[in-house]
Amino acid sequence: MLQLYGDAETLTLSQLTGGVYLSAVVLLQPLILAFAYTFAQDNPSTNVSIYIITFPAKYLPLALLGITLIMDGQYAALHQATGLIAAHLYDFLTRIWPTFGGGTNYIVTPEFVKRWFGGSATPQRRGYGTAFPAPQAAPQNNDGWSNSRGPGRRLGGD
């Protein structure tokens, strides 16, 4: 019989899968690997370095998983691989399937999170200060430089 940690009424799905089956109640390592997977999917040709080895970012999650396997063993790597599986499933369900498969995105950001962290066009007065929207990109000239350059005075000299 499996022994559950904590009160059975407050046991969440992540605690059940991570805590009971993998004997890990802290899911920080899978979260870090999930972030690395998301970064690798968004920037596959970016070069990253681990210790002294430089390689394309698309191999970063596998490299982190391999380092965990070598340093901590197979159970820690299996625990960390749950983050890779969760990130891949999230990426598939929110980007790949709705875009290329014609499916519906069922995992949507709640409206209150969009209100809390989303941008708006006007400054927002808050109890701790004023929040301004992020600046828009400056228009580009034909040569690729933005129009916001100054007069171009050389430093030093007279």
Q: What is the pLDDT along the chain (158 residues), one digit of tens a residue?
A: 344 444 444 555 555 555 566 666 667 888 889 999 999 998 888 999 988 899 999 999 999 999 999 998 888 888 889 889 989 998 888 888 888 877 788 788 788 887 787 655 677 777 888 776 666 655 555 555 555 556 666 677 66
Contact (Cβ atoms closer than 8 angstroms) between residue 24 and residue 83: no
Does residue 84 lie within any of the structural domains?
Answer: yes
* Alpha carbon distance 56, 63 (integer Å): 11
- Could you list the residue range(s) of the whole structural domain that residue 54 is in? 28-111
Is 49 within a domain?
yes
- Cα distance between residue 101 and residue 119, in whole Å: 30
* pLDDT of 64: 92
Residue 124 in domain: no
Alpha-carbon distance values, 117 to 4, 35, 124 (Å)? 36, 19, 12
Question: Would you call 3 helix, strand, or coil by DSSP?
Answer: coil
pLDDT at 47: 92
- 143 within a domain of the structure (yes/no): no
In a domain, residue 39? The reply is yes
Residue 22: predicted pLDDT: 62
